[in-house]
Amino acid sequence: MIVRIVKMGFYKQNIDAFLDNFHDTKADIRAFKGCSYLELYRDKSNPSVFFTYSYWESEEHLEQYRKSDLFKKVWGRIKPLFSIRPEAWSVDKVETLK
């Protein structure tokens, strides 16, 4: 399993457009083959910064999503809204405490 974390910053006037787009596409992203988990976070100290946190069965599944029409549609809509360059990390989960 791969955990994918993506940090995105938006111009204040574009936040609603981003949230609308996320609302419209989140079910499709979550239903994409290989995606088993999806969350959206908002930074407490800078409300213009958001993070997505998702689980992927494998690197191949993540790459299939990144090459998909769905990703192109989602990214095409939000890319012009960014105020900072997005950052992404693929990490391995080491331990979970409950």
Q: What is the pLDDT of residues 52-87, one digit of tens each?
A: 999 999 999 999 999 999 999 999 999 999 999 999
pLDDT range class, residue 47, cuts 50, 70, 90: very high
- Residue 13 CB coordination number (10 Å): 9
DSSP tag of 82: B
Q: Give the pTM.
A: 0.93
pLDDT score recorded for residue 46: 97
Contact between 88 and 4 under an 8 Å Cβ cutoff? The reply is: yes
pLDDT range class, residue 95, cuts 50, 70, 90: very high
Q: What beta strand segments (E) does 1-67 contain?
A: 2-9, 35-42, 49-56
Cα diameter, the chain: 39
pLDDT score recorded for residue 20: 97
Q: What is the pLDDT of residues 3-38, one digit of tens each?
A: 999 999 999 999 999 999 999 999 999 999 999 999
